[in-house]
Structure formats: structure tokens, C-alpha cells
Amino acid sequence: MPGSSFDLAVSQPFSFARCLEYMTRSPLESLYEVRSGSVIRLLRAAREPDSDCGAPRSYLVDITCPDDQALHVRFLQGKPDSDEELEGVKRYIREWFDLDRDLEPWQQLVADDPVLGKLAAEFYGLRLIGIPDLYEALCWAIAGQQVNLPFAYKLKARLAETYGKSVIWEGRRYWRFPDPSALAGADIAALQSLQLTRAKSAAIIETASRMTSGELSRAGLLGLGDFASAEQALVHIRGIGPWTANYVRMRCLRDPSAFPIGDVGLQNAVRSQLSMDRKPTPAELRELFAPWAGWEAYATFYLWHSLY
């Protein structure tokens, strides 16, 4: 049977401190807590338990990495009762920290780059922190459309606290993002009461319905064979446009070439790095990113991080 802790080896270069630095960019984060040298998060079980309530079990985990060679994961509340569930936890964490990505080609590509060379050195070992859960990634992207980042965090917290599950450990409550089934039948007015617009509320409910029915899934999108096909499948859903689809490609589907060109944060970061007196145009961004082809997602992520 699985034990109360395990280690996950990481490929190099890797800096847990840099990852935690990114994860503390907002004090409004509601789905995990970064403490000194560790991060605590409530995870969903990989499968449904055999119980009358039918609700997915949760595991509260504490993750540390004292030597940047392996993540040490400790179960604080609950633990897998099968190797299958343990593998699900490991898979989630590997996806979350992008542990299987070989970053050496990225480092070599941008080492002498006039724009990214300095950032790649400063953020050496930073992994593109992901959102392995497709529904969470979609809701986060939808909620963040055309609002500032602090307000987007508040919307995410309201969704979690209204429709999600939680546990209490050492006097603190830890939330898990809602399952699609919790929102598939939700009322638009109820979501609007959380200060989501009607359009965003409808999109969150529709994606929940599609995921609950099995029409939409991460495995299904990846099974389409290429990321462009996954993007086309996403933009056919009401409320999901190219920016949202590329954000999901980048942070959930793990496409290193995802390029959310319309992202305001990206535009502001480029403006700052190039000391421009205006935001760059889409054509200027495409020209700037051309030397980084295949690594647009990491370029975007490092540029985002330069704003904090």
C-alpha cells in the first residue's frame, strides 16, 4: 500500500525557490498556501471512492524540495489507498511543476538573447507552473477575461468557496477547485451574484456540462493529435476565444508553442523590457517571438514573471 510520503525526481535545471517565488505573486491565491520552503495544496483523488456519498476524496499534501534534486511530498490529511491513486497524485504534481520538460534547449536558445537572456539567467530553473485540471484552467481563464489580476483571483476564490470542497488543517481551511458536476446545473444568476458577468457565467456552466457529459476532457483534447486541433475544439465553445484557448494550451495541455498574443500582461512585459512608450502591436510581438519558435509559452511565462 502507498505510504505517507514519497519523492519525485526532477530534471535539471530546476529551482524550487524560483517556482515558489512565482506562486507567491498574489496574496489572494486561494487554492494553495506557500510557507517557508513548502507549498500545501488540497488535491482530488484520481478516481471516485466506493461510498454512498459518491464525492471524490481529497488529499492535503505538503511539498518541499530542499536540494532541487527531488520533490518530497507528504500527505497531511488522507492518503491514496491504491497504487493507481498514488500514480494520479504523482502525475498531477509532475504536470503542475512541468517536471518532465527538458529545459536545457530553452536555456541554450535564449542564453545570449538580448531580451530573454537576462531573464533566463535571473529565473534559472523556473518551471512553467501549470494548471493540470482542465476545468480549473478553463474557469480561471474565463474569469480572467478583461479584468485585472486581483479581481480574477477574487472570482476564483468565490467559485471555490461556493462550489468547492475543503478541509481544515492546523486551523486553516484549504479549498479544492469545484468539480464540473458541481456547476453543470448551476443557475446563471447564482454565478452572477459572485460578480461574474452573465456571459462568463454561461461559459463556466456550459464547459461544466460538456465535461460532465464526457464531451470535453483533457485526454480528449490531447487525443486530437495536435494542439491546433485542440484549440479549434475549444474556440467552438461559447465564451472561449483564441486567448483563452492558448492560455489553456499553455498551462493545462502543456504546449510549449502556445502563444497568447492578446494577453495584456504579456504586452506590458514586452513594453517594459523594450522600454517602449506604447504597447507592442501583434505584428511586433510575432516578430519578437520568431527566434523563440517552439518555446513561446516559456518566453511568455518568463516575461509575465518579470512584472513581479
List, by residue number, the catalytic residues.
263
Strand duo 165-169 + 70-77: pairing: unpaired
Residue from 67, 65, 63, 87 nearest 75 by CA: 63
- Collect all residues with Cβ–Cβ distance below 8 Å to 269 and sequence separation of at least 6: 303, 304, 306, 307
Q: Nearest to residue 253, comparing CAs of 139, 154, 138?
A: 138
| Residue burial 32-47, b: 16+ Cβ < 10 Å; e: rest | bbbeeebbbbbbbbbe
The CA–CA distances, whole Å, from 82 to 2, 5, 7, 49, 79 equal 6, 14, 17, 11, 9
Is-contact 287 249, C-beta < 8 A?
A: no
Q: CA 118, 297, 175: angle at the middle one, nearest 5? A: 105
3-state helix, strand and coil shares in percent for the chain, rounded to the nearest 5: 45, 15, 40
